[in-house]
Structure 1
Amino acid sequence: MSQVLEGKRIVVTGAFGALGDAVGKALEAAGARVARIDKAPRPAGMKEDGANWGGVDLSDSAAAKSVLSAAAERLNGLDGLVNVAGGFVWEAVESGDADTWDRMYRLNVRSALCASQAALPWLLQRGAGRIVNVGALAAHHAGVGMGAYAASKAGVARLTEALAEEFKDRGITVNAVLPSIIDTPANRAAMSHDDASRWVDPSALARVIVFLQSEDAAPITGALIPVRGRV
């Protein structure tokens, strides 16, 4: 991969999962310095003295501000943020729990909101920046069992648009990728009878995110980009 992000300093949330890991590696391959943040514990073998933070609840505004400040200080500034952190649950509305809708909102919308608010002072300090959110195609249409998840991802889409409008004249672009089914071990286990070759490979989605973090994507903001694969 060409060094289109040479010298850029980018934070990835949800960085220890399958997609977050692919995104971090793709950003580094493009020349960026990457700080990784996740609610999960830091994986065994990952450098303790690196820019890696586990056990962080990004839906907590104070925690998000603290860890984004630590990451920006470790990287000596901040040029971009990729909000991968989130979650999924399959639950029918009829038999489901209203608390599930609150949980999906907190995991998918509030975590992206708090991380973005925490990153903005650092991006505004240099007068430029890129925020990329990971939404979902389900934001456009909720299938059976997808209500709470789809509603939360619709919230991510609206957050993306609102931020893009707010900062379009201040040097910061805000976009979202909307994947269908991502080819992860968890999804293969949950949908073992489906054809995973039709799904979106994490590394392919990561390359779209690399482009959106690059200078070539400067004219693009407020975009909700479908990454459907062959689903």
Structure 2
Amino acid sequence: MSLVLQDRTVVVTGGFGVLGRALGASLMARGAQVALLDRAEVPPSLESAERLLAIGGVDLASGEAAATALERIVGQFGKLDSLVNVAGGFAWETVEGGHLATWDRLYEMNVRTAVAASQAALPHLLASGAGRIVNIGAIGALKAAVGMGAYAASKASVARLTEALAEELKDRGVTVNAVLPSIIDTPTNRADMPDADPSRWVAPEALAAVIAFLLSDDAASITGACLPVGGRV
């Protein structure tokens, strides 16, 4: 595998989940130093190593907590080049029978965490000279289905955040893009949809490869893009 991210330092929020772990492994295989951040505690199976730092117990909805975690990462690796905002959540709920608290919760998980992490990362990304932010949106935000109102609205906000921040930074050496997956092949999704064909979904490793491209020098001319990664859904 080509070391297109050699000596880059990348932070992945929501790093202990299925996509976060797959992305961390993919980025390290491409030469990057990787820091995985998560609200959960560090699982025993995920130990920090020479080019991997795992930090748990981080409330990424808090600007102060995000800034403290990123300062720790820069202290260990000496710099920060890229941020991937994976942290988020999902809930299926109709508008008629749903709760306002669900809308608030999904906004906090999917949007506020991305804003807080981006704000904390920006001073370091600007200093990098080739900073990158990639947000995880959702293809479902382009056309919401039944029960997807709160989730799709929060992910649509991620897309608008991506576009607005890209405009802010387009002349300052930092690109901002989003990937919009359909259904990611995870154990949870397989359990929730036992009659579906997961071979049509997006494998975490495949999505990780797209993200790695957006973090690379080859994608330096791409900013403000919301890229659908739909598999065969």
> Deviating runs (4+, > 3 A) in structure 1?
none
Alignment of 1:79-90 (within 5 A): 79-90=81-92
The equivalent residue for 2:101 is 99
Contact persistence 1:35–1:75 (CA under 8 A): no
Alignment of 1:54-203 (within 5 A): 54-203=56-205
Secondary structure, in 3 states, of the residue corresponding to 1:131?
A: strand
How many angstroms apart in 1 are the aligned matches of 2:26 and 2:114?
20
Which consecutive unaligned segments of at least 5 residues does structure 2 have? Answer: none
2:2 counterpart letter in structure 1 = S
The equivalent residue for 1:33 is 33
Displacement after TM superposition at 1:128 (Å) = 2.5
Contact persistence 1:181–1:199 (CA under 8 A): yes
Question: Any idea what the Cα deviations from partners look like across 1:116-147, whole Å, max 9, x if unmatched?
Answer: 00000111123330000010001111101100
How many angstroms apart in 2 are the aligned matches of 1:57 and 1:90?
23
How many angstroms apart in 1 are the aligned matches of 2:28 and 2:47?
16
Secondary structure, in 3 states, of the residue corresponding to 1:51?
A: strand
Which consecutive unaligned segments of at least 5 residues does structure 1 have? Answer: none
The equivalent residue for 2:216 is 214
The equivalent residue for 1:10 is 10
Displacement after TM superposition at 1:56 (Å) = 1.0
Which segment is superposed worse, 67-76 or 111-120? 67-76
What is the RMSD of the two structures over their aligned residues, measured on CA atoms?
1.0
| Matched pairs, number | 231
TM-score (normalised: structure 1): 0.98
2:192 counterpart letter in structure 1 = A
Displacement after TM superposition at 1:48 (Å) = 5.6
Contact persistence 1:128–1:170 (CA under 8 A): no
Are 1:47 and 2:63 counterparts? no
How many angstroms apart in 2 are the aligned matches of 1:82 and 1:126?
15
Question: Any idea what the Cα deviations from partners look like across 1:35-65, whole Å, max 9, x if unmatched?
Answer: 1101111111332676211111101111111
1:216 counterpart letter in structure 2 = D
